[in-house]
Structure 1
Amino acid sequence: MPAVRAEMRSVRRLAFGLAMGLCLSVSGVAAGVSAAAEPARKVIVDDDGFGLAQWMLLQAPGVDVLGIAVVSGDVWRDEGVAQALRGVEIAHRTDVPVLKGAVYPLLNSEKLTDRWEALYGKLVWKGAWMKQWVEPTAQGLLSYHAPDVVPDLPEGNPVTKASDESAVLFMIRKVHEFPGQVTIIATGPMTDLALAQRIDPSFAGLAKELVYMGGSLNPQQVRGDNAAAEFAREFANSPRREFNFRFDPEAASIVFRAPWKRIVSVPVDPSTATEVTPELLRRLAAANPAFADAVKRKQPGFPLWDEIAAAVWLDPKLITKSEELYVDVNSQFGAGYGDMLSWRPGYQPDMDEQKEVVVRSVDVPRLEQKIVDLLSRKLPPAKQVH
C-alpha cells in the first residue's frame, strides 16, 4: 500500500506540473498576442513643407503615419508637396500618401500683409511672401516666386506623385474611419484644419487629439550666442506674434474654437533655446547614410520648431515645463492681427475657446538625442517607383 500511495503522489505531482506548465505556456502566448496586438498610434501630419519632424515620425516605432498633408506657409503648397514627396522617397516610405492642402489663407493675403506692414511695422518672417530680410541674418533666404512655381530641390526632385485626394477630405475621411484614434500634428498654418472643421463640424470631435506648433507667449530662453536667436528678435517688442498664426489668423481661431478632445500647444517659446547647429547636422548625417546627403544640404542656424512638436508627442517626458491655458488668435485687422491670445482657466471669455496643454520648455539635449536616435533606425526596403 505505501508503494501505491507513493506512486499516486508521483502521478499527482506530474499532473500538477503539466497543468502549471500548460497555464504558463498559455499565459505567455496570451501576453505575446497582447503585445503584438498593441495598435500603432495613428497620425496625420499637416505641414507647410517637409523636414526632420516628418522623418522622425516615419522612423518612429509603433507609429502609423496615415498621410502627409501640405499647406502653404513657409513655402507655397506645391513646393512643399515636392519637398514631402522627395522626403518620403528618401525615407523609403512612398506608401505614405502626400496630399495637397490649401494654397491661400482664408482671408489674409500678400497685399493685405504689405498694407499691414505699412501701418504697423515690418514682420521678421513672411514665409512664401518673403522677399528680403529687414536686418542682416545668418540664414539664407528662400527664393521668392509665384504659387505655381516649383524650384529644383537641393536634395533632388521627386519622381513620385501626390495623391489625387484633397488633404482636407482625406483628413475628414480618416477620422471617420478611425474615430477617436487619429492624432493631427499641425506644424504650419491651420487653413486645412479650419476648412475640414467647416465642411464637417464633427471633424475635431472625431480626432483623438491635436498637437500643433504655433503661437508665442513670451519667450524667456532667448540666447544671444546662437544664430537661431535671430528669429526671436521680434519677441522683445511683440511677444505674442508668430508666423503660423499670423499667416492665417482666421483659420487658427476657427480651429481653437472646435471641440477637440485634447490639444497640445508647442509655441515658439521652447524653440528659442534650440538650434540646428552644424554639429547637430553632422551627428544626424552620421546616424544613417540614407539621410546623410539630404541632411548635409540643410541650412544651419534655424531653431527646432516642428521637431519639438513631433518629439513631445512621441515622448512627453521631454517636456520640462507646461501649463493649461485657453487659447485663441486675434483676427481683427489691427496692430495685433494674428497675435496669440491666452487665458488661465476661469478668465477666458467663453466663446468656445478650448483648454490646451501649452509646452513652455523642453530638455534640449534629450530632444537632440531623440532626433538622432530616430533617424539612426534602419529604413525599410526601398519600394519600386513606377
Structure 2
Amino acid sequence: MDVDTGVDDSLALLYLLASPEAEIVGIASTAGNVPAPQVAANNLAWLDVCRAPEIEVTLGAIEPLAIPLRTTEDTHGPQGVGYAELPVSDRVLSSRSAAHMWVDLVRAHPGEIVGLCTGPLTNLALAVRLEPALPTLLRRLVIMGGAFNHPGNTTPTNEWNVHVDPEAAKEVFDAFSAAPPDRRPIVCALDITETIEMRPKHLSLLAERAGSLPVEAVSEADPPEARSVASNPIVRHVTDAVRFYFDFHRLYDLGYLAHMHDPFAAAVALDPALAVTRPATVDVELAGTLTRATTVADWAGMWGRESNADIVIGTDQELFFDRLISRIGDFARALYPHEAGAPE
C-alpha cells in the first residue's frame, strides 16, 4: 500500500486489514492529503486501533518530484482523519525509505505482489528510477487517480493525486508501457470513484454489523464539535472521520455524502472482477497552461502506442458497499466483542 492517509485512505487500510485473503507486506506513507510524517503517524495509529500485527510502515518522499507540496487539510481535516482523534502510536517507522521498500519487496517476491496506490505516485516513481524492471516484477498495480471523461476535482480537468505530483504520474505511466497486458495498471479514476457514494445510512449499517452501541444517525445538522459515542473504537473513529468528509462534500454542493475513492481501489486490488475495465494508453499533460496534470486516455490508438492501463468504466456499487460494511463491521466486532457499553 502506498497511501496519503486521508479519510478514504483510512477506510482502504481498514478494508484490507479486515479481508482474510489480504496480506499487507508494507505501507508507504506518501505526502498528499497531509505531509508525509502525519500520514505515517496516521498509518501507525490505525494499526494500533485495529490491533494489527507488526507491519512495516515507511516514510515516503517529503516533496513531489519537481514542484512544492500542496496538501488538503480542508478536505481531510488538520490531521488527515477528519474529526477523528486517533491515539498516538508507540510503533516505530521503518529505517528504509518507501521507494527502497517497494524495490526490495518486488525483488524478493517477483510476480507475487499487488501494489495499491491511493495517493500521489511520488514514491513509486522514485522506486521505478531505482528498479526500472519494477513494472514487470509486480503481479499487478492498482491506482486511484486521474479523470478521463469526467470533470476534475482539483482543477476543471485534473484529479487531486495526479495534481500533487504530475511528473511522478507521467513517469509511472510511461514505465508501465513495458508491462505485459496482464500486468497493466488498473486505474480507478474519478469517472468511477465519484459514483461510489457513502451516505449516513452506511455508517449506521456498519455500526449495526459491528454490534456497536448506540447505532448513531449522522446528520448534516450535527455541529462540527459533535463526536461519536459509539462503543466500538473502530466504528467511533470511522464515524468521526467520515462525518468530516460528509461536511466537506456538502460545503461544495455535492450533497451530504462522501466519495469512497480509495476503499473502492482496495476492493478492486483484491478482486479485479469487481471492475469493468477498458484498455487505453494513458499519458499526463505537463505543459498545458490550463490543463497541466490532466490525465489523457487514448482509447482508439491514435498515438500508435500500446495500451499501458486498464481504466475502470463500471462496477456494482451496491456489492462494493455490502463488502465494505460486512468486512469492516465483522472485523470491528471480532476485535472488540465486548464493546457494547460506554466508549473506551
What is the TM-score when the length of structure 2 is the normalising length? 0.78
Q: Which residue of 2 is the match for residue 322 of structure 1? A: 277
- Indicate whether 1:256 and 2:151 are aligned: no
Q: 2:40 aligns with which of 81, 91, 106?
A: 81
Q: Which residue of 2 is the match for residue 186 of structure 1? A: 117
Q: 1:154 to 1:252 in 2, by over 3 A?
A: same
Structure 1 residue 76 displacement after superposition: 0.8
Q: Deviations over 1:262-297 (max 9, x none)?
A: 210100111222223222122223333352221221
Larger Rg: 1
Counterparts of 2:79 and 2:108, CA distance in 1:
39
Q: Deviations over 1:129-173 (max 9, x none)?
A: x6x6xxxxxxx663399xxxx999612222222211211101100
Q: 1:85 to 1:153 in 2, by over 3 A?
A: farther
Q: 1:176 to 1:61 in 2, by over 3 A?
A: same
Q: Which residue of 2 is the match for residue 277 of structure 1? A: 199
Q: Which residue of 1 is the match for residue 236 of structure 2? A: 293
Q: Which residue of 2 is the match for residue 167 of structure 1? A: 98
Q: Which residue of 1 is the match for residue 63 of structure 2? A: 104
Residue type at the aligned position of 1:174: L
- Indicate whether 1:373 and 2:317 are aligned: no
CA contact (8 A) 2:143 2:188 kept: yes
Counterparts of 1:234 and 1:62, CA distance in 2:
33
Structure 1 residue 205 displacement after superposition: 1.7
Structure 1 residue 180 displacement after superposition: 0.8
1:212-291 counterparts in 2 under 5 A? 212-219=143-150, 238=156, 240-258=157-175, 259-260=178-179, 261-288=183-210, 289-291=232-234
Counterparts of 2:163 and 2:262, CA distance in 1:
17
How high is the sequence identity, in percent, across the aligned residues? 26
In structure 2, the gaps of 5 or more residues are: 211-231, 247-256, 337-344
Residue type at the aligned position of 1:173: D
CA contact (8 A) 2:50 2:335 kept: no
1:38-117 counterparts in 2 under 5 A? 45-49=1-5, 50-109=9-68
Residue type at the aligned position of 2:207: A
CA contact (8 A) 1:83 1:153 kept: no
For the aligned residue pairs, the C-alpha RMSD in angstroms reads: 2.7
Greater relative contact order (Cα < 8 A, sep 6+): 2
CA contact (8 A) 2:142 2:265 kept: yes
- Indicate whether 1:337 and 2:296 are aligned: no
CA contact (8 A) 2:282 2:308 kept: yes
Counterparts of 2:331 and 2:19, CA distance in 1:
11
Counterparts of 2:28 and 2:79, CA distance in 1:
22
Structure 1 residue 104 displacement after superposition: 0.5
- Indicate whether 1:313 and 2:269 are aligned: yes
Counterparts of 2:274 and 2:322, CA distance in 1:
11
Structure 1 residue 316 displacement after superposition: 2.9
2:77 is paired with a residue of what secondary structure?
coil
CA contact (8 A) 1:285 1:291 kept: no
Structure 1 residue 314 displacement after superposition: 2.0
In structure 1, the gaps of 5 or more residues are: 1-44, 111-125, 133-139, 220-231
Q: Which residue of 2 is the match for residue 20 of structure 1? A: none
Structure 1 residue 331 displacement after superposition: 1.6
Q: 2:127 aligns with which of 196, 203, 209?
A: 196
